[in-house]
Homo-oligomer: A and B are copies of this chain.
Amino acid sequence: MGRKAGRSPGETRRLLLDAAGAIIRTRGVSATLDDIAQQAGVSKGGLVYHFASKEDLIRALADDLLQTFRNAVESALDPADTAPGRLTRAYVRACLDTSQDERVLLETIALLAQLITIPAVAELARADAECWDRELRADGLPEEVLALVVSAADGAVNAPLWGTLTRTANLRRLEDQLIRLTLSDCAPPSSGG
């Protein structure tokens, strides 16, 4: 039995991670390792070689997704924006971004919510949330504004999780409202664009 693969271990890992994301998005966390391995073009044993257990695979996938979100926020940072609330505005833009085809980020969150079932992932998410809390608090915004804006952004991101169908136009308007809230304590929500 056994064969050497025509690719590097790192490539196989990424292949398996992407396959896991695709399969679990469709069939939920109860998707079998067989299915995931097949999607990646390796055997089940091959998968288990790279990820000691299903939990290990899912934990790595969650880590990958958390990092993807962090990258999205970083990309949303406006270099010209140096005012207090700079990071918060990037956070809002990343959360409500509708430019990506098929709302990749929203799907990512929905997938993450599935993974969070696993205790190891929950712990990962907790540490990540704590990190965000620290960074956002240091962003220079009044606490009340920060709490309101971040809660709303989080709510919008979580909406698809609960089956709420959010239309692009509504997300854009909410994004504008939230950005305005970070720029002044009292932005009239009724004069929205």
Contacts and interface: CB of A to CB of B under 8 A. Distances in A.
Interface of A: 28-30, 113-114, 116-119, 122-123, 125-130, 133, 142-145, 147-148, 150-159, 161-165, 170, 173-174, 177-178, 181, 185-190, 192
A134 to B, nearest CB: 12
Contact of A190 (B119, B122, B142): B142
Number of copies: 2
B30 A129 contact: no
Which of A127, A130, A163 counts the most chain B CB atoms within 10 A?
A: A163
B173 A125 contact: no
Contacts of A148: 152, 174, 177-178, 189
Contacts of A177: 144, 147-148
A83 to B, nearest CB: 17
Contact of A155 (B119, B125, B152): B152
Contacts of A173: 144, 147
